[in-house]
Structures are given as C-alpha cells and as structure tokens.
C-alpha cells in the first residue's frame, strides 16, 4: 500500500522554469494540483516556455500514479503560462504502487 513521502510545492516567483527542490528518496508517485494561475509543464529535456509545454489551469490535476514516476518527478519543470503571474502547483508524493 502506498504511503505519503512528502509534500510538493512550487510557487513561481519569476518567469524561469522551476522544479521541486526535493523529491524524497523512495518517491514513486505524485498527486499534484494547480492552485493559482495557469502554468505550463515540461521536463529538463523539454523545458516549457510561456507558449510550449502542457498547459494547466487552476483546479487541474496532474497525476503520476500506477507506475514508478520518481525520476520523472525529479525532472519535472513548470513555468508561468502568463509572465509574472506566479503560478502555484501543490500536492504530495508517495512511495510504492498497487497495480490492482
């Protein structure tokens, strides 16, 4: 059974692509939600810009469950969809996964 390994929080204070400062060791899954202002999502190999990447709006979920996404969560990058808007992405990380 999965258990929570930590909390996820990114608040974009500038218009550079940002990632999570610390994804706990053992994390394999994540449940995230855009809380404030639209963002765009990519990874370290495909950095998002204000016009590229997956666009998400407040209330949109971003789910990484059912498989081992630990490395991807460490490489996840987000950016403001609108420059200066200070988007917020929050959620939690988990370990283990159940393929019922």
Asked if pLDDT for residue 65 goes beyond 80, the answer is yes
Q: How many CA atoms lie within 13 A of 50 on its CB side?
A: 11
Helix residue spans in 9-84 (DSSP H): 70-75
Tens of pLDDT, residue by residue over 69-100, are 999 999 999 999 999 999 999 999 999 866 55
Domains in the chain and their CATH numbers?
3-16+26-95 (2.60.120)
Cα–Cα dist 25/13, whole Å: 26
> Measuring CA to CA, how many Å separate 61 from each of 9, 34, 83, 85?
14, 7, 22, 19
The label of the residue with tokens 């939690």 reads 92
**DSSP β-ladder status, 76-80 and 88-95:** unpaired
* Model pTM score: 0.88
pLDDT band at 66 (very low <50, low <70, confident <90, very high): confident
Pull the structure tokens for residue 43.
């990874």
Comparing CA positions, the residue from 45, 76, 42, 15 lying closest to residue 91 is: 76
Between 66 and 76, the higher pLDDT residue: 76
């Amino acid at each position: 059974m999965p258990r929570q390994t930590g909390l996820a929080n990114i608040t974009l204070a500038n218009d550079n692509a940002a990632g999570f400062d610390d994804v706990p060791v053992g994390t394999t899954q994540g449940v995230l939600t855009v809380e404030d202002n639209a963002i765009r999502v990519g990874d370290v190999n495909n950095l998002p810009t204000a016009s590229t990447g997956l666009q998400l709006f407040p209330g949109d979920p971003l789910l990484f469950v059912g498989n081992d996404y630990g490395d991807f969560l460490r490489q996840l990058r987000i950016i403001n969809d609108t420059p200066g808007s200070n988007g917020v992405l929050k959620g939690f990380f988990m370990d283990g996964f159940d393929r019922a």
